[in-house]
Amino acid sequence: MCAIDLLYWRNVKQSGAVFSSVLLLLFSLTQFSVVSVGAYLALAALSATISFRIYKSVLQAVQKTDEGHPFKAYLEMEIALSQDQISKYADKILLYTNTCMKELRRLFLVQDLVDSLKFAVLMWLLTYVGALFNGLTLLILAVVSMFTLPVVYEKHQAQIDQYVGLIRTQVNSVVGKIQAKIPGAKRKEE
């Protein structure tokens, strides 16, 4: 199952489990430190595995069977990352980092005045968002949005596309008027 299937709720049980687990973790982080949440999660997992191991050992002793260690298959499983996997992910991270640095350089050094002004407006708006919400609250809102917006869009795509088209037309009209009034702000045709 891929992430898209989870976000579109193709399998309701799996999506519900992932969604509730992530929300529980994030809400836990609002009340406790990362260290405490990590320690509690590790203790819960350890308690479950130790209890299961003791249960299986007692069951084997009572039934006089020799099934062996209940986690033997997992203990023998190879979990090391290969050099190729590490190299592939490192290359992707390097490409993404370089792309971000080039874009930030372009925006901060005003290669295109319109794009830099858009970026400045975005940063100004983010100061207000930051004053209203902390990062964890924004993360919770992002997770809830990721699990709800795709389904809403899928069910009401025609109406949403119609309104987005109207908004896009209005925004392009306003941006065109602003660009016409600012000298040197006309965009190059791409």
Average pLDDT over residues 100-129: 93
Q: Answer with the residue of higher pLDDT: 188 or 65.
A: 65
Examine the pLDDT at 188 and tell me if it is beyond 60.
no
Provide the 10 A C-beta neighbour count for residue 144.
14
In this predicted structure, the answer to whether residue 145 has a pLDDT above a threshold of 90 is: yes
Secondary structure of residue 189 in the 3-state scheme:
coil
Note the pLDDT tens digit of each residue in 55-77.
Answer: 998 998 888 888 888 888 888 88
For residue 160, what pLDDT band results from cuts at 50, 70 and 90? very high
Q: What pLDDT, in 10s, does the model give residues 73-100?
A: 888 888 888 899 999 999 999 999 999 9
3-7, 27-31, 89-93, 134-138 — which one is most confidently predicted on average?
A: 89-93
pTM above 0.85, yes or no: no
Helix (H) or strand (E) holding 153: helix 135-155
Predicted pLDDT at 65: 84
For the chain, domain boundaries: 1-56+87-176
Q: What is the DSSP letter of 110?
A: T
